[in-house]
Structures are given as structure tokens and as C-alpha cells.
């Protein structure tokens, strides 16, 4: 039986130089959630920025791993163990090059789709049975420039599209907390 506790993990890279980059939309979505749920994130073992509270009476923990994107799994495992959660009680938020900017897609489980942060979580946990919200950032880069693209900041006009997507990722997370992953999928996995 699933726990009533939920852990929401946003993926990104630590440091001011990465704050507004495409690769950090998972961090941005967790920041939106923290504000809405009035949860303060502070340094925690893992290593991560983490905080706990309640949302509509349900226990909620938020985590932003500080291990850099490609090593996110250890921080996720640490907080799952600390909270006594299974992978089904976790929701991971991260960027996706395969989705148009502003589109979000929610999945119950599956492959990493080539995302190194999600792949590390799958590898460390030994399972791909992990709910996730993929936030589209598009793939507007020339061959061999993927790293530069994901580590570059959004332009102002791009943020007009991304801000609603980041808000929707937060809203989907809140629905996951209240009603579960299927309800979140049914509401937010609409064709654009």
C-alpha cells in the first residue's frame, strides 16, 4: 500500500551560474511548489536542499539534489530511505529535449528517454517504476551543441512559454499529492 507521504524531486545543477538555465526547470518547479506550500528549503544530507511540510493535510517533502544532474540518484535514494517511501511515492520533475517548449508530460514509469539525471535515479534505485513530470525545453540547437543548449539561460520570449509550463508542473505535482499519478496524467497530458 502506498504511503500518504510524498516526495517531490526537482532536477537541476547547483550554483548561481545554472539558476535560469534550461536544465534547471525541475529546480524552478520545486521552487514554485515550495512557495505555494510554504516550505523552506535548506541544506540537508544527500546532499540536497530539502524541506518538509504539509499540503492540504498531506505530508510533503521537497528536494533539489546538489550533486549535479548526472548524480541525482544518491540524493533521491537518501531521502526515500529517510522518509520510508517507495518509488511510487516519489515524483521527479525535469527538463526534456524531446518535448516542445512549454509542453509537460507525466508518466508513471519508463525509460529515462536519454536524460542523464533520470537515468542515474533509475540506476541507483534499480527500477524505472518512478513517476515523473517531463517539462519540454525543445531542441533548438545545432549538432554537437546539446550541452551548450541545456546549460544556457532561457531568453525572455522563451520564459513567456516556460513560466506557465513550470506552474503546470507544480500544479500536476499538487494533484499527484492529493489524488495520485493517474489523476495528474488525465488532467495534464493533453495535446497542445
Residue 1, in any domain of the structure: no
- 58-65 sheet: strands from edge to edge: 42-44, 48-55, 58-65, 6-10, 90-96, 132-136, 104-107
**Concatenated DSSP letters of 140-169:** ---TT-HHHHHTSBPPHHHHHHHHHHHHHH
Q: What is the pLDDT of residues 138-165, one digit of tens each?
A: 988 888 888 889 999 998 889 999 999 9
Q: Does residue 54 have a pLDDT over 70?
A: yes
pTM score: 0.94
Selection from 56, 100, 77, 102 nearest residue 92 by Cα: 77
What integer pLDDT is reported at residue 1 of this predicted model?
42
Residue 47 lies in a domain: yes
The answer as to whether 78 is a domain residue is yes
**Structure confidence by residue, pLDDT tens digits, 21-40:** 999 999 999 999 999 999 99
- CB contact at 8 A, 184 and 176: yes
Number of domains observed in the structure of the chain: 1
Sequence-ordered list of residues with C-beta below 8 angstroms from that of 11, at least 6 positions apart, any chain:
26, 27, 65, 69, 72, 92, 93, 94, 95, 117, 118
Of the candidates 23, 78, 79, 115, the residue annotated as catalytic is 23
23 part of the active site = yes
What is the rounded distance in angstroms from the CA atom of residue 32 to the CA atom of residue 171?
A: 9
Query: 179: number of CA atoms within 13 Å, CB side?
Result: 9
**Mean pLDDT score, 94-123:** 95
The residue range of the domain holding 53 is 6-188
User: What angle do helix axes 156-179 and 25-37 make, rounded to 10 degrees?
Assistant: 60
Domain containing residue 68: CATH number: 3.40.50.1470
Q: What is the pLDDT, as a whole number, of residue 101?
A: 94
**135 domain residue, yes or no:** yes
Amino acid at each position: 500500500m502506498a504511503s500518504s507521504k510524498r516526495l517531490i524531486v526537482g532536477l537541476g545543477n547547483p550554483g548561481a551560474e545554472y539558476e535560469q538555465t534550461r536544465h534547471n526547470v525541475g529546480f524552478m518547479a520545486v521552487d514554485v511548489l515550495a512557495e505555494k506550500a510554504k516550505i523552506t528549503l535548506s541544506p540537508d544530507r544527500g546532499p540536497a536542499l530539502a524541506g518538509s511540510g504539509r499540503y492540504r493535510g498531506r505530508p510533503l517533502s521537497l528536494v533539489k539534489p546538489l550533486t549535479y544532474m548526472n548524480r541525482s540518484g544518491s540524493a533521491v535514494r537518501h531521502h526515500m530511505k529517510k522518509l520510508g517511501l517507495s518509488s511510487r511515492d516519489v515524483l521527479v520533475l525535469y527538463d526534456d529535449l524531446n518535448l516542445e517548449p512549454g509542453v509537460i508530460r507525466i508518466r508513471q514509469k519508463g525509460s529515462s528517454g536519454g536524460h542523464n539525471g533520470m537515468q542515474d535515479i533509475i540506476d541507483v534505485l534499480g527500477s524505472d517504476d518512478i513517476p515523473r513530470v517531463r517539462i519540454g525545453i525543445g531542441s533548438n540547437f545545432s549538432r554537437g551543441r546539446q550541452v551548450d543548449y541545456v546549460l544556457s539561460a532561457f531568453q525572455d520570449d522563451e520564459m513567456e512559454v516556460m513560466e506557465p509550463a513550470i506552474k503546470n508542473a507544480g500544479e500536476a505535482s499538487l494533484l499527484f499529492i492529493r489524488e495520485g499519478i493517474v489523476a495528474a496524467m488525465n488532467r495534464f497530458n493533453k495535446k497542445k
